[in-house]
Amino acid sequence: MTPHTADLPATATQLPQLTHSRNPGMALDLDWVASVQANTSAIERRAASIGSRRSIKKDWQAAWLCKAVSLIDLTTLAGDDTPGRVQRLCAKARAPVRAEMLAALGVQGLTVGAVCVYHDMVETAVRALEGSHIPVAAVSTGFPAGLSPWHLRVQEIRESVAAGAREIDIVISRRHVLTGNWQALYDEMAEMRAACGEAHVKAILATGELGTLRNVARASLVCMMAGADFIKTSTGKEPVNATLPVTLTMIRAIRDYLDRTGTSVGYKPAGGISKAKDALLYLALMKDELGHDWLRPDLMRFGASSLLGDIERQLEHHLTGAYSAANRHAMG
């Protein structure tokens, strides 16, 4: 169905950056954790239906794609990253869509949600983004496996914050989930959250390695209890990354946590989201399940490196009726 006017998100220029109250966390409630279940077949049916229930076309689609741009954590996490590459990525973050296209769309001030890099590139990114509102996010705690010595994982957080990172994407120890050691997961998450200080913390669950949707739901809840400001699907390095069933499981955990505590927690699907049409599905599912308030950068992000290029191509097609070559929309 075509969305009504009330369904259309506000433009990116009206959106605050990380302005909602942080998640203070709560004491670990093992009874609540044990009560959490996940009906896999029902979740998969619901996730499969979203594409047929939502059809967003023409001007509406262009508006939603601009919304998606404002939610992207523009990311480079390669072993051959250089300062020059990061500087070019930051320039793209400031101007993610060509100025003449934005003028034709009637959009001003559009930027991405954040730039995400390894610790070694945090200072470079911070300098490149000076004068903008765009935060730098650092992947941390022995990303992507999270198996380095504990004191080094915590120290890595502190050093990234000291270097200017305003958001920290941490990775949990998957073994705690797979063995049901919820106290250990809670303690680990709480200490990492404390090490972040004023920086917002996103807990990466690596859902493709957790085995079941029930494990995903329980891990989501425990991380929120321990103070995670966002829960995130994946590092992008696992064989299976963000999926719609996993997303539905995690955002329903967010809704349950909100109902019980009154605290809003953000959500970040990451890994494998490279097409504009996929971003629209995630936006539609978020709006259906959590409401309009979650369609803003302080409560939703996409972890992506190639999504922006495809969105730009789709916006150009909307304006001209023709698709341009992908190499015309490079990240830097």
CATH of the domain at 297: 3.20.20.70
Residue-wise pLDDT for 269-322, tens only, equals 999 899 999 999 999 999 999 999 999 999 999 998 889 999 999 999 999 988
8 A C-beta contact, residue 174 and residue 144: no
CA distances from 34 to 28, 163, 297, 315 (A): 11, 39, 32, 46
What does pLDDT average to over the chain? 91
Residue-wise pLDDT for 80-138, tens only, equals 999 999 999 999 999 999 999 999 999 999 999 999 999 999 999 999 999 999 999 99
* Phi, psi (deg, nearest 5) at residue 317: -65, -40
Mean pLDDT of 19-31: 91
Can you read off the two tokens belonging to residue 205? 């669950």
Residue 12 lies in a domain: no
Model-level pTM? 0.92
Residue-wise pLDDT for 122-180, tens only, equals 999 999 999 999 999 999 999 999 999 999 999 999 999 999 999 999 999 999 999 99
Can you read off the two tokens belonging to residue 88? 């070019």
**CA-based nearest residue to 26, from 226, 257, 229, 265:** 226
Residue 8 lies in a domain: no
What is the per-residue pLDDT for 6? 37
Burial 134-145 (b: 16+ CB within 10 A, else e): bbbbbbbbbbbe
Dihedral over alpha carbons 96, 101, 104, 108 (to 10 degrees) = 20
Q: Which of these is catalytic: 202, 268, 278, 287?
A: 268
Residue-wise pLDDT for 200-226, tens only, equals 999 999 999 999 999 999 999 999 999
What is the per-residue pLDDT for 149? 97
Q: Which of these is catalytic: 67, 73, 92, 169?
A: 169
Residue 19 lies in a domain: no
Residue 14 lies in a domain: no
Q: Cβ atoms within 10 A of the Cβ of 84, count?
A: 10
Q: Which domain holds residue 98?
A: 24-329
Residue-wise pLDDT for 57-78, tens only, equals 789 999 999 999 999 999 999 9
Residue 10 lies in a domain: no
What is the per-residue pLDDT for 8? 40
8 A C-beta contact, residue 264 and residue 293: yes
What is the per-residue pLDDT for 326? 67
What is the per-residue pLDDT for 158? 98
What is the per-residue pLDDT for 324? 73
DSSP 8-state symbol, 196:
T
Residues 290 and 171: their CA atoms lie apart, in Å, by 25
What is the per-residue pLDDT for 299? 97
Specify the higher pLDDT residue, 19 or 195.
195
Residue-wise pLDDT for 224-282, tens only, equals 999 999 999 999 999 899 999 999 999 999 999 999 999 999 999 999 899 999 999 99
Residue 229 lies in a domain: yes
Can you read off the two tokens belonging to residue 278? 């996929």
Which amino acid is located at 238 in the chain?
E
Residue carrying the six token digits 């769309």 = 105
**Annotation says 237 is catalytic:** no
Q: Which of these is catalytic: 67, 92, 202, 232?
A: 232
Per-residue pLDDT at 14 exceeds 70 = no
What is the per-residue pLDDT for 19? 53
**Annotation says 310 is catalytic:** no
Q: Where are the alpha helices (DSSP H) in the chain?
A: 30-35, 40-53, 58-70, 83-94, 99-105, 122-128, 150-162, 174-178, 182-195, 213-225, 244-261, 276-290, 307-320
Q: At a CB cut-off of 8 Å and minimum separation 6, what does 304 contact?
A: 72, 73, 74, 75, 270, 273, 274
Q: Cβ atoms within 10 A of the Cβ of 49, count?
A: 12
What is the per-residue pLDDT for 12? 39
Domain count for the chain, please give it: 1
What is the per-residue pLDDT for 20? 67
Residue 16 lies in a domain: no
Residue 18 lies in a domain: no
What is the per-residue pLDDT for 331? 62
Q: What angle do CA 40, 44, 49 make, to 5 degrees?
A: 155
Which amino acid is located at 20 in the chain?
H
What is the per-residue pLDDT for 54? 65
Residues 62 and 318: their CA atoms lie apart, in Å, by 7
**Annotation says 268 is catalytic:** yes
